[in-house]
C-alpha cells in the first residue's frame, strides 16, 4: 500500500483493488481503524478525500488520496534522555530498538529515567518528532533484544490488535542449564502467580494458557549448557523462564527460577528477532538483533 506522511496527516493512495468501496468501508475493513478512533476521526473531521471534506459513504477511485489526521503532536509521557539507544529499524510509523541487559523497558512513573522509553523519547526529540512513547510489548529488565514501538495512535492500535491475534512473531535465544535431550518440543503448561512470592510465576492448573515452542540449537557439553531457540504463542509474564524451569532446565543465571549456574549475573535470555506485517503499508517486516557478547562467548555457532 502506498502511503505518505504529510505533517500530522497520513495520506493513503487508493489502489485499483479498493476502487468502488466507500470511505467508511475502507476505514473499517482495509485500514482496520478501531471503533473508538473512527468515532474520533468523524467528530474531529479528521478524514479528507483529495484534500476535501467528503461524506463517508462516497465511493473512492484509483489514485484518490485519503487523508487521515492521526499523527498529532503529543507529550512524550517520559523524560527524554540521551542513552544512545540502538535503533534496528525505523520509519514514519514505528521503530524497533535493541534493548541491553539491565535496562527497564519503561519507567514506573513520568519522572523515571534510565529506561528504553526515555532513550526513545530523546531519539525522537532529536528528529523533531513529538509523540507519546508507545511500546507494543515489553522485555524483563535483564532480558536483551528487540522491542517494538509505535509512533502514533493508529499504528499503536493496529499493532496491539496484531499482538492480540498472535500475528507478531518474536524469536528468543536462551541458555538453559543442563543438556536437553529432546531436540524440539512444545510446552503447554498454564502459568499463574506464585502466592508465596510477589513477582514469581509458576506452572499452575488454575493459571492462564501458555504455549512455548522450543528447538535445541547447540549443546555445550563442557559447561553443561544448552542453547535453545524459542517462539511463543502466548505472552505470559516470565513465560520462557517458568516453562524451561518446569522442564528441569532453568535459564543460566536465573536464580528466581532455580538457576544454579553462576556464569552470568542475569538470566540468559535474548529476544533475537521480530516478524510482523506493517500496520500501515502492509509489507512484511523482519528485524534481527545482533547476538550479544555474553551469549557468543559460550557458543561458536552462528546463532542468528
CATH number at residue 27: 3.10.290.10
The CATH number linked to 86 is 3.30.2350.10
Domain match, 44 and 104 both: no
DSSP 3-state assignment of 154? Answer: helix
Looking at 144, 165, 186, the residue that finishes a domain is 165
Domain boundary among 114, 146, 165: 165
Of 87, 93, 82, 90, the residue nearest 5 (C-alpha): 93
pLDDT at res. 300: 62
Task: Kindly state whether residues 115 and 154 are assigned to the same domain.
Answer: yes
User: Based on the domain organization, do 243 and 184 belong to the same domain?
Assistant: yes
Q: Does residue 294 lie in a domain region?
A: no
Cα–Cα distance for residue pair 163/47, rounded to 1 Å: 26
Give the orientation angle of helix 35-43 with respect to helix 153-164, to 10 degrees.
160
86/159 same-domain check: yes
- Is residue 86 included in any domain, yes or no? yes
Asked if residue 251 lies in contact with residue 189, where contact means CB atoms within 8 angstroms, the answer is no
Question: Domain of 242?
Answer: 170-271
Q: What is the pTM of this model?
A: 0.92
| Tally of structural domains, the chain | 3
Location of C-alpha cell 463517508: 56
In whole angstroms, what is the distance from residue 109 CA to residue 131 CA?
Answer: 17
Q: Are 156 and 255 in contact (CB under 8 A)?
A: no
CB 294 within 8 A of CB 264: yes
> Does one domain contain both 82 and 147?
yes
Residue 291 belongs to a domain: no
- The pLDDT value given to residue 303: 41
| Residues recognised as catalytic | 140
pLDDT one digit per residue (tens) for the chain, 304 residues? 899 999 999 999 999 999 999 999 999 999 999 999 999 999 999 999 999 999 999 999 999 999 999 999 999 999 999 999 999 999 999 999 999 999 999 999 889 999 999 999 999 999 999 999 999 999 999 999 999 999 999 999 999 999 999 999 999 999 999 999 999 999 999 999 999 999 999 999 999 999 999 999 999 999 999 999 999 999 899 999 999 999 999 999 999 999 998 899 999 999 999 999 999 999 999 999 999 999 998 886 444 4
Q: Are residues 61 and 82 in the same domain?
A: no
Buried b (16+ CB within 10 A) or exposed e, 17-41: ebeebebbebbbebbebbeebbeeb
Is the Cβ–Cβ distance between 66 and 47 less than 8 Å? yes
DSSP label at 15? P
pLDDT score at 1: 81
Amino acid at each position: 500500500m502506498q502511503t505518505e506522511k504529510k505533517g500530522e496527516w497520513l495520506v493513503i493512495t487508493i489502489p485499483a483493488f479498493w476502487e468502488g468501496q466507500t470511505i467508511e468501508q475502507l476505514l473499517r475493513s482495509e485500514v482496520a481503524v478501531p471503533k473508538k478512533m473512527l468515532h474520533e476521526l468523524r467528530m474531529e473531521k479528521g478524514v479528507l478525500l483529495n484534500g476535501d471534506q467528503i461524506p463517508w459513504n462516497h465511493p473512492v477511485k484509483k489514485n484518490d488520496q485519503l487523508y487521515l489526521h492521526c499523527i498529532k503532536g503529543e507529550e512524550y509521557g517520559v523524560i527524554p534522555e540521551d542513552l544512545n539507544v540502538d535503533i534496528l529499524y525505523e520509519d514514519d510509523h514505528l521503530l524497533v530498538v535493541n534493548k541491553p541487559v539491565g535496562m527497564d523497558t519503561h519507567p514506573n512513573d513520568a519522572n523515571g529515567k534510565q529506561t528504553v522509553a526515555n532513550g526513545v523519547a530523546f531519539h525522537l526529540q532529536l528528529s523533531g518528532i513529538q509523540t507519546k512513547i508507545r511500546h507494543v510489548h515489553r522485555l524483563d529488565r535483564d532480558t536483551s533484544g528487540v522491542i517494538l514501538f509505535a509512533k502514533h495512535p493508529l499504528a499503536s492500535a493496529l499493532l496491539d490488535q496484531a499482538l492480540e491475534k498472535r500475528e507478531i512473531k518474536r524469536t528468543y535465544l536462551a541458555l538453559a542449564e543442563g543438556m536437553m535431550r529432546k531436540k524440539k518440543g512444545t510446552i503447554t503448561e498454564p502459568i499463574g502467580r506464585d502466592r508465596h512470592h510477589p513477582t514469581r510465576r509458576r506452572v499452575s492448573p488454575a493459571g492462564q494458557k501458555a504455549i512455548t515452542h522450543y528447538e535445541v540449537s547447540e549443546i555445550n557439553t563442557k559447561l553443561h549448557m544448552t542453547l535453545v531457540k524459542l517462539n511463543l504463542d502466548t505472552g505470559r509474564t516470565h513465560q520462557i523462564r517458568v516453562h524451561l524451569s518446569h522442564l528441569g532446565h532453568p535459564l543460566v543465571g536465573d536464580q528466581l527460577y532455580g538457576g544454579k549456574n553462576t556464569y552470568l549475573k542475569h538470566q540468559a535470555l535474548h529476544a533475537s528477532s521480530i516478524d510482523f506485517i506493517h500496520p500501515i503499508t502492509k509489507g512484511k517486516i523482519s528485524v534481527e538483533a545482533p547476538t550479544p557478547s555474553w551469549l557468543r562467548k559460550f557458543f561458536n555457532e552462528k546463532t542468528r
